[in-house]
Structure 1
Amino acid sequence: MDGMTGADWFVPLSEPADAPAAPVRVHAIPHAGGGCAAFTPIADRLAPGIVVRAANLPARQARFLEPPCTDLDALLDALADAYEPGPGVVLGYCSGALIAFLLVRRLRRRGLPPPGALVVASYPAPDAARPARTLHTLPSARFWAEILSYGGVPSQVAARPDFREIFEVGLRADYELLSGYEYAEEPALDVPIVAVRGAADPLLGADGLAGWARHTTASCTVVDAPGDHWLIDTAPDALAELLREAVPA
């Protein structure tokens, strides 16, 4: 598939001045339509001791001119190819939490060392996830009406239809990417899971994270953080602190 090879699928948002041989890394997967820069507020708070390697997906930001990826299996292979084993955690934000979970499964399938923890934010457990099936097929006006109803869209995009056109390809592709998702039974991960939601999240209820415990034989910690669904914007300090705590000693 075009765009699936020869690109940096994870990019570091900061690098320590004196990087150790095995730096602590957070491999981070953004929300639908998000680019790697979405994690800059987190990276700034974790540097220099922890490096955020954010997923750099096609059809947005530095890869804007590349065709989008709508093949979930191909995406997981590309991310697994680019993953750097070592001390650290995998973070998935909103729908990126589902991709992060599937990525850790893919690493296990390849016999690669697992991350020290899986941190999932603002998303229900993978067997309870119900990705939108047809949103990506809607005409542009109806597509954006639905997207804007979720909140979290930058004000300059929400107010400018011409800006929306720029973001629509990648955003629509991400909804198509998960539109055919069906949960598949596999053994639980042997990886600690930290599941976090905003206490004021209107999209994910207080019991919406409990199911993550079914997917690990290690610990599962459920956290209500201050803020709403969009934790990178409303609770970056709390999310950064959770990531620090999740890094294995």
Structure 2
Amino acid sequence: MKKVNLFCFPYAGSSAMIYSKWKKYIHEQINLVPVELAGRGGRIEDEPYTSIRNAANDAYQQIQSQLNQGPFAFFGHSMGSLVAYELAHKVLEKKGLQPEHIFFSGRRAPQYPNQGMPKHLLPEIVFKKELSLMGGTPPEVLENKELSDLFLPLIRNDYKIVETYEYKKKVTELKCDISVFHGKTDEISYSELMGWEEHSTGRCELIEFEGGHFFINEQMKELLRVVNSKIDLILK
């Protein structure tokens, strides 16, 4: 049976484990490949990244041997969307290949700079409060000193590489279809979301879900129904 490799990239402060629950709902034609980034999970001892491009280069080293196995797609949420974007161009540059479909979730298009005070510069108490308001970070991580000391530096560094990301227009051009996922109460404008359509000659579709920035956790089953349907089209 022909399968599509779906490479998934986590949001700031999270690990590849966030995608473990997906296996129960993903169609059998999809081979789910959560990509573990440095500084978390089984790679907790690895040095943190200095930039999003640094993260994308590392991700490329991890998946390059699987890229010739057949069709593949990328999914990234928030920080993971930027990693997926840079990685797609890295793969095109190095191998002349590109994903059949990219799912950019919970993130404005890369040409739009981050707005407001950079969160990675906030004092610890304020930073914790911001993380609590956004959701996505387990309360025990914010409330337990030992866990905070362990995980907060990683989360802060992830925010740093996102907030200091500098967009550079690519020479190469993607041709794949794009799905943009958005939580209805997340503070990203329509124009910022639809800005993703500038990055491929393929079709770009905006799909909204109930919830805020972390709708990816709250609306998992509905989200995966869309992912399954989009990837099913690749196999037809």
2:95 to 108, 111, 116: 111
Q: How does 1:1-40 map to 2 (within 5 A)?
A: 23-40=3-20
- Aligned residues, how many? 228
Say whether the 8 Å CA contact 1:45–1:240 is kept in structure 2: yes
Say whether the 8 Å CA contact 2:53–2:83 is kept in structure 1: no
Task: Report the AA paired with residue 104 of structure 1.
Answer: A
Q: How does 1:1-249 map to 2 (within 5 A)?
A: 23-46=3-26, 48-83=28-63, 84-85=66-67, 86-130=70-114, 134-186=118-170, 187-199=172-184, 201-247=185-231, 248-249=234-235
Give the alignment's TM-score, normalised by structure 1.
0.82
Across the aligned residues of Structure 1 and Structure 2, the Cα RMSD in angstroms comes to 2.2
Q: What displacement does 1:64 show?
A: 1.8
Say whether the 8 Å CA contact 2:6–2:30 is kept in structure 1: yes
Q: What displacement does 1:118 show?
A: 0.6
CA distance in 2, matches of 1:101, 1:166: 29
Give the alignment's TM-score, normalised by structure 2.
0.86
Task: Report the AA paired with residue 53 of structure 1.
Answer: V
Task: Report the AA paired with residue 69 of structure 1.
Answer: Y
> What's the CA shift string for 1:137-156, capped at 9, x where partnerless?
44322322332232222232
CA distance in 2, matches of 1:44, 1:167: 28
Gaps of 5+ in 1: 1-19
CA distance in 1, matches of 2:5, 2:116: 31
Closer/same/farther in 2, CA of residues 131 and 91 from structure 1, 3 Å limit: farther
> What's the CA shift string for 1:8-43, capped at 9, x where partnerless?
xxxxxxxxxxxx5x6421111111111000112223
Gaps of 5+ in 2: none
Q: Secondary structure at the match of 2:188?
A: coil
Q: Secondary structure at the match of 1:209?
A: helix
> What's the CA shift string for 1:52-91, capped at 9, x where partnerless?
2112112222222232222333322221122222323100
Say whether the 8 Å CA contact 1:118–1:194 is kept in structure 2: yes
Question: Could you tell which deviates more after superposition, 228-237 or 129-138?
Answer: 129-138
CA distance in 2, matches of 1:236, 1:47: 14
Identity %: 21
Question: Could you tell which deviates more after superposition, 156-165 or 216-225?
Answer: 156-165
Displaced runs of 4+ in structure 1, greater than 4 A?
131-134
Q: What displacement does 1:190 show?
A: 1.0
Closer/same/farther in 2, CA of residues 77 and 194 from structure 1, 3 Å limit: same
